[in-house]
Amino acid sequence: MTPEQFVAGLPKAELHMHLEGSIEPDLFLRLARRNGVDIRWSTEAELRAAYSFDDLQDFLNLYYDGCRVLVQSQDFHDVTREYLHRAHADRVLHAEMFLGVQGHTTRGVAPATIMDGVLGAMDEALAEDGISSGLIVVAQRHRSEAEALELLDSLAPWYDRLMGFGLGGAEVGHPPRKFAEFFRRCRALGFKVVAHAGEEGPAGYVREAVELLQVQRVDHGNACVDDAALVAELAQSRIPLTMCPLSNLRLHVVPSVAAHPLKRLLDAGLCVTVNSDDPSYFGGYVNDNYLACQVALGLERADLVRLARNSFEAAFISEERRAFALRAIDAWSAEAEAEVQGAARAEAT
């Protein structure tokens, strides 16, 4: 069994993926035509050529501009359903997706339009493909905390369908402490809380996310390597890091996948997971990220299994669902090992 075959069949969860970042060029162009949105590109090739970024802010400029093609409930449904179908093909059993509601409501899109489309597609994916999913609404950190609190209140009709709230967007100049009250409110309402930290921001942002916001996961978290005490604390607490290697490469957070801290942190005992972030823009879904790390970081099959197990340890799912997923990983690992043993016996004879 090749690494590609092993990863393809390895059960996994994806915990760091922005729905708006999964709009493939063909769908992007279809949505623009459907809604009469004037865009700068006329072909898929032209659009893909624009996916070259200098840094996070450069990417976000295009990302926010691209959100304009999402207008109707059907648009949000189609984006969500296409991602979940693609994730299912990568043997993702469970996906937890980010949604930047503020980027749409500020354009005049009603919350019900957004939520009805996304939640309907999630229900459809569970019924048709058996892939479970959860929705995490992200507050945009370049906006004020007051706006984040307004966002929280505006989504009250859907509290029973939301998994949690997070913090995303450009880090520099927007430390986690800016949203301390917002996160306190989210926790008081019983939501799971996560935050992007340590992608372009310093290790101190990761510490603030953990200590002030009391997050249950850190999204990215690369910069923690600059604080040995923090690394040790994250290893002890098992607060997960949802890392995105190909995203980090395309946004110049790391010079190469070989330089990515994922393997060092995994070896240090942290609960590291592998995810795609914005797969359409960064040229790789979750399996592409696993394989890029396998090649560049020299991951063994046991490392890949550990990453998959970590993804379910870090997921906001029931213990029953977690146990089911871990058994599926063990079964796939046993099948791969049996194939190795069978090949060895055949060679010996």
Would you please indicate which residues are annotated as catalytic (active-site) residues?
199
Task: Measure the CA–CA gap between 20 and 66, rounded to whole angstroms.
Answer: 8
Contacts of 276 (CB under 8 A, 6+ apart): 14, 16, 17, 244, 246, 247, 282, 284, 285, 286, 288, 289
The single residue listed with the structure tokens 């490392």 is 303
Task: Measure the CA–CA gap between 316 and 164, rounded to whole angstroms.
Answer: 9
Query: How many other β-carbons are positioned within 10 Å of the β-carbon of residue 31?
Result: 22
Q: Distance between the two ends of the chain, CA-based, in angstroms?
A: 20
User: How do beta strands 192-197 and 12-18 pair?
Assistant: unpaired
Three-state DSSP class for residue 241 = strand
Angle at alpha carbon of residue 152, lines to 146 and 153, rounded to 5°: 90
Q: Where are the alpha helices (DSSP H) in 196-300?
A: 203-211, 228-237, 245-250, 262-267, 279-282, 286-296
| Phi, psi angles (nearest 5°) of residue 254 | -125, 150
